[in-house]
Structure 1
């Protein structure tokens, strides 16, 4: 693997003639730009077909390509050079794919950032990436404050879907007026298929988030491997991904997969409340629905769910967490559809283990997706047999080649031969179905995202009313994982309900909101071992 130079990354570790690429017949020319996923629809005569639809507007492929060209020309006018980063802090509206593909087509590197990110973490993303240009929705403009922009290179903030309010940092431009002056034609940059295309960041559960670099060919590879085998999309499909575009899972669902075949993506900005989801399904009639176990639970338990019309759907998918049998059955009762469960990661870009319609086992992450090699190994790196527990390793041509500026974490996760060490413990049965058994470390998934209990514990310990605390992972009745905090307060007279809300809010304000403990138990003292350490096994019995 070569080192980053001048914004260019060449991945020599997993060539495109690897076992996985050969298996799915995937080949791509040396000179390739990922914007072809969008623009090839014009060559195929699909310019008049709808690309994106929803309450925030409809764009045909012709219109979306024109918008993307304006964005690319606009970015170039700001003096950006090949490989420079553009931070995207956007909700799911037509502006997102337009800005993304515009940046990629012009040879720049967009960063897809979680819109729940607080200012101090945004400052890290800006500093780590060196981005001098950012794009955000007007609703998020206030987050780009002095804290977020301190000691960063940010000089221009482009605001979409609203007014560009004046700020004390960065020049702020209203996208509608700004883009009007640029051409709607743009030749693609002469990028290499293994050149850096875009980044996503890990959740940062164990210290600083990691910039996960993806290459120009990675989107096309994930579509050839997963979408063609599992989704089998056509031009008549409408994909509705409730997980947002800034997640790798949502990005594939809403961008890569539908655009690769001329299908449409239904975009839902704002919080994905059940009523809004039900209304969008009935109004826009999607055919393929993407969710998470937490979301399916909320939808099946929502008041009046049974009165809604789900007849347009032909396929429902889930990823990120273990799906319980109860939720599976409740969704089937509600919609008539079985949920197809899979497992992927941001490092691999999308799903590499999956069940299939007509070939599934409840509670499993499924079988190997063609195009990906899967191995279960013990801690010594030896392959384990079926029925034995091992740590999952995965290799495919959509694997990230490195974490940006993190050689330590790159060496820890990306192993010799292009294998990714996932840290997930699995058991594989004789039919090739994989069953999750936990993490090799202490990370757990809450609402589809990794959380490190110790990080939450250290945060709670900083509260002035907390004397000591411990945070642990607990398994709910439906097999989802959650966080529980056991707390010793520094005062004796307090209302437990008020204290719980106070502590949960404290964590939400200092960490990403999903990391707060769902349960808080108050005790007079924490159990200790003979050496004075917190007895975490005893905590599990409380």
Structure 2
């Protein structure tokens, strides 16, 4: 263990991101990879490959088209597309003209889009015909002129293919602290916050994500199972891989991925590394025979979005010979905590701080706490602010004041460090359950639940109780061999009491057919909690 940790501390000591005065990700990073394969796209039938040179040519022509339409530096561009090749071309083109890209999931409603149009003063929207009607509805209600660009032949919109006929514009460098991306992210209250990233806080700093946690190599192929509308796509489908000269693999499919499709894809294509949501790994282990999990080319598995349970990590290791490595970060950051291949594995742990970050567990005043004490996961911003930290919540002084206090950025996530210095995730600040004075993190209870043979998936939230204030409630999806029953409830409860501290067991269990999730597979605990407290119908 000492030899492995020595390598970690050497990496931390020696790593430094040199931030130039001016920077352009397309010019300084992307275009330099030339004829290596940048993107492999498939829908299961058709297969397309694009070199870095191909995407340079396409995105520079599109950038010229944008400029002809009057989209210029600093203008905000909302991009609503599924994972089709055009998405990668468009994001590169937006960066070439130093406009501000705003990725959005295609699940957004007309109301969601209208809010974004107003909040971010959006100059242009780029989408496809499938999403055109709700965008038009939002623009009409917005009442201001917006440039509309469609990758299909949508009537009344500017056509993507026509814009590609313009003279190429490769781009120009701009100041490193100029805006580059805005991500809308849900807070604990009210409307989504606007997270602003600079030209370097994502484009350059995701070297940290790609090099250390994803362990990417030039010429290898990386698959990230994520929708293009989420920040995770920027992490692992764009900046992480392309900083390292790694090929991005993407699979376009409407609806949810099935466990069998993920396994088939890993066997069919020569994928070397994969980033998936914990839900995907859990479903694969619970639904498919473990002897099927043999992959000739995959050497590295990582999980993101929320921690993966130790039970699943150990079963995966037994089946494949490889561990799954947890990683942690936010829309506001690049990868900040992770299990790396060069540190001893502790299944279920979030890991150690990534190089470039100083992180600790603190109380609400920013005082570091002793080992095995739950507190705030906090990032040190003084005397050195990490490069991979967002610039601001646009127009939200209250959120800024809550997040930045003294020498720290408070993530609003809870965790603890063990005696060896490993970080462990407890839960989102508003997900932690307080029952009769006890603080209970949902992740630990879910990890115990998933060990029961009847439990395929579980989500744990607070539920109101007259005596205890709140109690632990578990929403459970059963494996195919079990049916809901009162004896099964009792059996699961007794099982959890033996797996963790007895006061943490779920006093309420509700069997459900499926759990509410984001398109990227993250469980929507907030939605379940609001229903429990009667605040969401």
TM-score normalized with structure 1 length: 0.74
Determine if contact 2:338/2:350 at 8 Å carries over to the other structure: yes
SS in 2 for 1:150: helix
- Matched residue, 1:52: 39
- Matched residue, 1:114: 105
- Matched residue, 1:172: 157
- Matched residue, 2:336: 352
Determine if contact 2:62/2:164 at 8 Å carries over to the other structure: no
Structure 1's 514 and 73: CA in aligned 2 closer, same or farther, altered over 3 A?
farther
Determine if contact 1:483/1:517 at 8 Å carries over to the other structure: no
Shift of 1:336: 2.6
Determine if contact 1:199/1:211 at 8 Å carries over to the other structure: yes
Distance (whole Å) between structure 2 residues aligned to residue 143 and residue 342 of structure 1: 35
Distance (whole Å) between structure 1 residues aligned to residue 249 and residue 398 of structure 2: 39
Distance (whole Å) between structure 2 residues aligned to residue 242 and residue 232 of structure 1: 17
- Matched residue, 2:397: 407
Match of 1:213 among 193, 196, 205: 196
Q: Is the counterpart of residue 422 in structure 1 residue 414 in structure 2?
A: no
Aligned residues: 450
Match of 1:238 among 221, 235, 249: 221
- Matched residue, 1:364: 349
- Matched residue, 1:261: 244
Structure 1 gaps of 5+ residues are 1-19, 445-471, 488-496, 527-533, 535-542
Shift of 1:485: 7.7
1:100-249 maps to which residues of 2 (within 5 A)?
Answer: 100-147=91-138, 149-151=140-142, 153=144, 155-160=146-151, 162-164=152-154, 166=155, 171-176=156-161, 178-183=162-167, 185-249=168-232
Shift of 1:379: 2.0
Distance (whole Å) between structure 2 residues aligned to residue 399 and residue 137 of structure 1: 32
- Matched residue, 1:385: 370
Shift of 1:150: 1.5
Structure 1's 439 and 242: CA in aligned 2 closer, same or farther, altered over 3 A?
closer
Distance (whole Å) between structure 1 residues aligned to residue 511 and residue 317 of structure 2: 35
Distance (whole Å) between structure 2 residues aligned to residue 97 and residue 225 of structure 1: 21
Shift of 1:282: 2.6
Structure 1's 505 and 245: CA in aligned 2 closer, same or farther, altered over 3 A?
closer
Shift of 1:196: 0.6
Shift of 1:149: 4.7
Shift of 1:301: 2.9
Structure 1's 152 and 55: CA in aligned 2 closer, same or farther, altered over 3 A?
farther
TM-score normalized with structure 2 length: 0.75
Structure 1's 359 and 371: CA in aligned 2 closer, same or farther, altered over 3 A?
same
- Matched residue, 1:9: none
Determine if contact 1:52/1:266 at 8 Å carries over to the other structure: yes
Distance (whole Å) between structure 1 residues aligned to residue 523 and residue 150 of structure 2: 24
Q: Is the counterpart of residue 320 in structure 1 residue 305 in structure 2?
A: yes
SS in 2 for 1:110: strand
Shift of 1:27: 0.7
Match of 1:77 among 65, 68, 71: 68
1:353-410 per-position Cα deviation (integer Å, ceiling 9, x unaligned): 1111252212211011110011221123322122322211114211112111212212
1:488-531 per-position Cα deviation (integer Å, ceiling 9, x unaligned): xxxxxxxxx9xx999999999xxx99578669999xxx9xxxxx
Structure 2 gaps of 5+ residues are 1-10, 381-385, 434-440, 452-457, 466-483, 485-509
Determine if contact 1:485/1:517 at 8 Å carries over to the other structure: no
Q: CA RMSD in A?
A: 3.5
Distance (whole Å) between structure 1 residues aligned to residue 78 and residue 95 of structure 2: 12
Determine if contact 1:54/1:284 at 8 Å carries over to the other structure: no
Structure 1's 82 and 316: CA in aligned 2 closer, same or farther, altered over 3 A?
same
Distance (whole Å) between structure 1 residues aligned to residue 373 and residue 530 of structure 2: 36
- Matched residue, 1:459: none
SS in 1 for 2:22: coil
SS in 2 for 1:351: coil
SS in 1 for 2:60: helix
Structure 1's 284 and 517: CA in aligned 2 closer, same or farther, altered over 3 A?
same
Structure 1's 502 and 478: CA in aligned 2 closer, same or farther, altered over 3 A?
closer
Shift of 1:138: 3.0
1:16-36 per-position Cα deviation (integer Å, ceiling 9, x unaligned): xxxx99852211320112323
- Matched residue, 2:459: 481
Structure 1's 232 and 307: CA in aligned 2 closer, same or farther, altered over 3 A?
closer
SS in 2 for 1:289: strand
Structure 1's 196 and 331: CA in aligned 2 closer, same or farther, altered over 3 A?
same
Determine if contact 1:485/1:521 at 8 Å carries over to the other structure: no
- Matched residue, 1:15: none
